[in-house]
Structure formats: structure tokens, C-alpha cells
Structure 1
Amino acid sequence: MSGANLRAMKPSFEFSSALTVWDAKPNVFLLPVPPDVGASVRDVPIQPRGFGAVAVVVTIGGSTWSTSLFPSSSHDGFWLPVKAAVRLAESIELDDTVTATIQLV
């Protein structure tokens, strides 16, 4: 089975949350993945990456890219990093509520 077919079998999730910055590195922008979505991601049998990261393909507006979700110690969900090119392309600023779709890979 090809990689594309395997990806098609993995679930996707949509959520909305406010863009924030990482306290330790204020130039890193993150979307908090809500706890209910995080629990659903954890329920999928996948091979986690280092530090419990989960590989995903993300879509926000017209932008799609590959990244990883990182477990959050401050809430029961994950953090989704949003790179500068996406923030610029989608006109996203700090504290904006953003709708994202994540596809597990």
C-alpha cells in the first residue's frame, strides 16, 4: 500500500483556538490543541516521535504544511506550531482565533 493510501486512512480533526506565543521563545507562535481533540489524537494507534510529538499535515485557510504536534504540560492537549510563512499568508496575528485541520500521518 502506498504512503498516500496509508495517510488517507488516518483520521483528521478540526479545531479553533487563539494563537499564542511560547513563553520561553516569544518568536515561536503556537495554537493550543483543545484537550478533547488531544484525547482523540492520543486514542489513534500511531508511532509517536521523540518527546511524544505526533506527525501531522495541517491546513489553515489556503495553507497546508507538515509539522508535529507537541504534548502540552500546561493543558491536556497538544501545541501546534504555526510558522511565519503561514501567519503571513493567512494574515494571522497574535490572539487571533484560528481554525485548523490536522491530518495524522
Structure 2
Amino acid sequence: MIVEFEAELWQWDARPGESWIFVSLPEEPSEEIRELTAGTRRGFGAVKVRAQIGATIWRTSIFPGSDGPYVLPLKRAVRTAQRLEIGDRASVSVELI
């Protein structure tokens, strides 16, 4: 399954001082992912993915967000390579692996 979407970068507020930056997947694909991965998810409900923003491709995991949709963490190297800051919008591709 491949999900392509645009989303705004946001910072997780639960740990002030740490720069955990995410984008949220859309609601409908998040529900499909839950159905497809039921029983096979890893710790914290993580699902392995191949993600892409611009020319940057990396392997990571998505996690179920507290308000519903899955969230994709964006490490500093990705944000730097794509010149992204909190509040920017990014075109994202996520493929379940």
C-alpha cells in the first residue's frame, strides 16, 4: 500500500526541549493501514514504511497518533535536506513494507 499526501510539519509538545517533528497521515488511509496491519504491528503500534519527501527516501516506522491518524517522524537529516521547518507543508509518500 502506498499513501501519497500533503501535510504540515508539527512538533510533538509532550517533551519540550526535544525536537520530535511529524506529519500526520490522512484519516482514511490510516484506517486502512489499521485494518491491513491488525495483529502484525510492532511496539507502540509501529508499522514499518519506506518514506519519501522530495529526493529524500528513508526507512522508518509510522505510529498511531493519539487523535486518530498515523504519524510519520521526520528526522533532522530529512528536514535539512528538503529545507523544511515546523509549519511548512510537504508532499509525502509512504509505502508499507
TM-score of the alignment, normalized to the shorter chain, above 0.5: yes
Q: Is the 8 A contact 1:22 1:28 kept in 2?
A: yes
Runs of 4+ in 1 over 6 A off after TM superposition: none
Paired-residue identity, %: 35
Cα shift at 1:82: 0.2
Cα shift at 1:43: 2.8
Highest CA radius of gyration, 1 or 2? Answer: 1
Q: Is the 8 A contact 1:15 1:37 kept in 2?
A: no
Provide the aligned C-alpha RMSD in A. 1.3
Partner of residue 38, structure 1: 30
Which ranges in structure 2 are unaligned for 5 or more consecutive residues?
Answer: none
1:16 paired with 2:44, answer no
Aligned partner of 1:62: which letter?
A
Aligned residues: 94
Which ranges in structure 1 are unaligned for 5 or more consecutive residues?
Answer: 1-10
TM-score (norm 1): 0.83
Evaluate the alpha carbon distance shift between residue 45 and residue 22 of structure 1 in structure 2; reply closer, same or farther with a 3 A threshold: closer
Deviation digits for residues 28-77 of structure 1, max 9, x if unmatched? 10001121120121232462111111110100000000111111112x21
Q: Is the 8 A contact 1:32 1:77 kept in 2?
A: yes
Q: Is the 8 A contact 1:63 1:89 kept in 2?
A: yes
Partner of residue 6, structure 1: none
TM-score (norm 2): 0.89
